[in-house]
Amino acid sequence: MRIVFVNFRTLRSQNFFIWALLAGFMLTSCHPAGGPQDELEDLPSWLRRPGINLDHVAIQVQSGEVHVNVSEGGVDLAGSSVAYATLHLISATQALEIGKSTTDAQTVPGSQRGPIYEVVNGGFNAVIPEESGLLVVSVHPTEPEHDVIRVSSASSSLPSAAVSDLASPSQLFSLSRVLGLELPDAGSTESWFNMSNNKMLLHLDEFGASNLSQITDSSGGGSHGTLHTDFGTNCTAQGKIERGLRFFAGQTTNVALNITHFTDRGSLALWVRREAATPDLMTVFASVHQIPNSGVELLGDVVTGKLVLRFADGTSYEDKVIGNLPPEAWLHVVITWDVTQNQFRAYVNGGMTLDENTALPWRASSLNFALGTGTSGSWEGSMDEFAYWERALTASEVSSLYTNQQ
C-alpha cells in the first residue's frame, strides 16, 4: 500500500476544483466497490461544514429577551440537506482563546443557552433570556454535544460561528480560528513569518472597543495604543482577519500609537477598507510633527479613488500615488524605507507599486503616530492587523504576508 502525504496548507489557496478532485479520489479509494461513496453523509465534516452569512443575522435585545433571527438562506448548508445551530454566552477571554485554538470545535462548559436548533431552509429563529456578554451563534453539520462551539478554519469563505457583544447587539463579526493568518505574537510557536525587529503589532481585535480603550500591542514591547472616539460607540467590527476596528463617519475616531520616531530602516503594514464616504482626503496612517507639518502620511483620496503617500519635512512635501482605493474592498498596504540608501517602496495587495530611489522630504523624530487621523480628514472605514518593523521587509516577505492573510 502506498501512503501519499499532502500539504493541505499549500493547497488551501488553490482552486476548489482541485480540492473536489482530491476528495473524490480519497473517498473512492477508501470505499469498497459498490459502496456508498457518492452519499453526502459519508463526506468528512471538514468538506461540508455549514457557514453563516453575517448579513442574514439579526440580534435584538428587548423586554428581557435576546431574539436571534437568521433569515432564509443565511446558513450555507455546504451541499447537505440539514444543519444545526446552537447559542452560547462567553466572555471576551474565552473568545480570544477560541481564536487561538488548534481545533475546529471547542467545548466551553456552561456556555450553551437554549436547545439545539434545526436549520430549516437555511435559517432559524431563537429566543433566550437576556444576559450580558458575548453571544455566539454556531452552526454544525450534525447534532453537537452540549456546550460545543464549532468554528471554521480561517480559510473558509463563511464562518461557522458569529459573535455579537450584547451591549451592541447589531454589530456582528466572525469567530474563527486565526492560526497561521494573524501575524505571530511575541513568544508564539508559529513561525510562518519572520517577526525579527518587530516593534509594534496591533491585531485590532479588542471586544467592545470604545473611547480610551487600550489597543493591545502583541509584539512583546508593551507599546499599546489608545482608541479615541467622540462618542461611546463600540468600534469593534468585522475585520479582514476575524475582528478589526471601524472608524465612523462624523466622528474623530483614531488610535494614538506609542511611537515617536522612525529608524533609518523600517516597514509598516496594515489592512484597510474604506466606506463609500463623502468626497474628501482621509488619513489612514500618520506620523506627523504638527508645527510645522512634517512626517509621512498614508492618505485616501476619495475624489480620485487613489491611495497616496505624502512625505513632508516642514518646508515642502511630495505626494506619491501608490494604488487605487475602491469602496468596500480590503487592501493590504505595506511601506518600507531605507533612508541611508534613499530607498522608499510601497506595496498594495502584495505587488510593488512604488520604487523610489531619490531623496524625499523626511522627518524621523518628535513625531505623533496615529491611525485614522493626521493633517487631513479622518478615516471612514475599517482597519486590521497593523505592524511596524525596524527593518525593511523584502519583496518576497511582503508577497508571503499578503498571500497568507488574504
Average pLDDT for 6-11: 38
Residue type at 96? L
Span 98-119, mean pLDDT? 92
Q: Answer yes or no: is pLDDT of 35 > 70.
A: no
Number of domains in the chain: 2
Judge whether 3 lies within some domain: no
Residue 366: pLDDT band with limits 50, 70, 90: confident
* Same domain, yes or no: 387 and 242: yes
Q: Would you call 76 exposed, middle or buried from its count of C-beta atoms within 10 A (0-12, 13-18, 19+)?
A: buried
Domain with 106 in it: what CATH number? 2.60.40
Domain of residue 124, residue span: 48-174
Q: What is the mean pLDDT of the chain?
A: 86
Count of beta carbons in the 10 Å neighbourhood of residue 157: 9
| pLDDT tens per residue across span 288-329 | 887 678 889 999 999 999 999 999 888 889 999 999 999 999
pLDDT of 17: 41
Which tens digits make up the pLDDT trace of 198-254?
999 999 999 889 999 999 999 999 999 999 998 777 899 889 988 999 998 777 899
Whether the per-residue pLDDT at 164 is higher than 60: the answer is: yes
Q: Which of 129, 159, 174 is the last residue of a domain?
A: 174
Higher local confidence (pLDDT), 231 or 394: 394
356 and 397 within one domain: yes
Closest to 300 in 3D by CA, of 275, 266, 336, 318? 275
Cell numbers 447589531: residue: 170
Q: What is the distance between the alpha carbons of residues 329 and 345, in angstroms, rounded to a whole number?
A: 22
Evaluate if residue 3 carries a pLDDT over 80: no
> DSSP E strands: which ranges in 326-380?
330-338, 343-348, 351-356, 368-371
Residues 155, 215, single domain; the answer is no
Percent of the chain with pLDDT over 90: 61
pTM across the whole model: 0.81
Q: Are residues 165 and 220 in the same domain?
A: no
The more confidently predicted of residues 230 and 129 is 129
Residue 98 contacts residue 106 (beta carbons within 8 Å): yes
Mean pLDDT check: name the lowest of 27-41, 114-128, 183-197: 27-41
Residues 161, 102 share a domain: yes
**Looking at the structure, do residues 167 and 296 belong to the same domain, yes or no?**
no
**226 and 153 belong to one structural domain:** no
pLDDT above 70: residue 275: yes
Same domain, 219 and 262: yes
- Residue 323 within any structural domain of the chain: yes
Asked, for residue 206, whether it belongs to a domain, the answer is yes
We report the CATH number of the domain holding residue 294 as: 2.60.120.200
Let me know if residue 242 belongs to a domain. Answer: yes
Burial (0-12, 13-18, 19+ Cβ within 10 Å), 32:
exposed
Would you say residue 257 has pLDDT above 90? yes
Q: 232 and 165, same structural domain?
A: no
Does residue 87 surpass a pLDDT of 70? Answer: yes
Is 202 found in the same domain as 167? no
pLDDT at 13 exceeding the cut of 80: no
Grid-cell match 473611547, residue found: 211
Q: Is the torsion defined by CA of 75, 47, 171, 125 positive or negative?
A: positive
**What is the mean pLDDT of the segment spanning 72-90?**
93
Residue 106 in this model has a pLDDT that exceeds 60: yes
